[in-house]
Amino acid sequence: MGIEKLPVGCLRPTVKKTVVKGTILLAIFSTVLEISPQKIINYLIFVALWYLTLLGYIMWKRSYIYCIDDDNINIRGPLTNRFIKYNDIKEAFVSQGFLARRFRCGSVYLVTSRRIEIIKDIEEPQNVLDEIEKLRKNDKSF
């Protein structure tokens, strides 16, 4: 299984922050669990199930593809395929928490008249927002 090459202008969510958050949460849960030599097998099974669940979430998250081209933004997911025209975007901004800034990722929020679309957990979100703003200004359909 090789690394899938995405089309030019397309992005996938990054998952480094997700793994770190999942591991931190596991560490917090582990402090309140009663882990003894007799129960170590149960704990190891719990850890294995925890990371299997996290792996499932990561696979779901990585199934999203965000494509930005001259005409619109396409958000493709396992159950959705949405197109956002630049002239439909009323406002756009970046959101980054503490961990997201550390991992150089974040989300770009696109506010339209119908809903708020989120380009989640992408690398260098400010650069993506700048590109979207540039394309919005160049959009002839305003």
Pick from 75, 84, 86: nearest CA to 137:
86
CATH number at residue 31: 2.30.29.30
- Name which residue leads in pLDDT, 8 or 21: 21
Asked whether residue 67 is assigned to any structural domain, the reply reads yes
Q: Would the pTM of this model clear 0.85, i.e. be above it?
A: no
Is the CB of residue 108 less than 8 Å from the CB of residue 132?
yes
Q: In what order do the strands lie in the sheet with 105-112?
A: 89-95, 105-112, 116-123
**Structural domain contains residue 6:** no
The number of domains in the chain is 1
Task: List, for residues 50-90, the tens digit of each pLDDT value.
Answer: 999 999 999 999 999 999 998 899 999 999 999 999 999 99
Question: Percentage of the chain surpassing pLDDT 70?
Answer: 93
Strand partners, 91: 111
Task: Report yes or no on 89 lying in a domain.
Answer: yes
Cα separation, 38 vs 28, in Å, equals 21
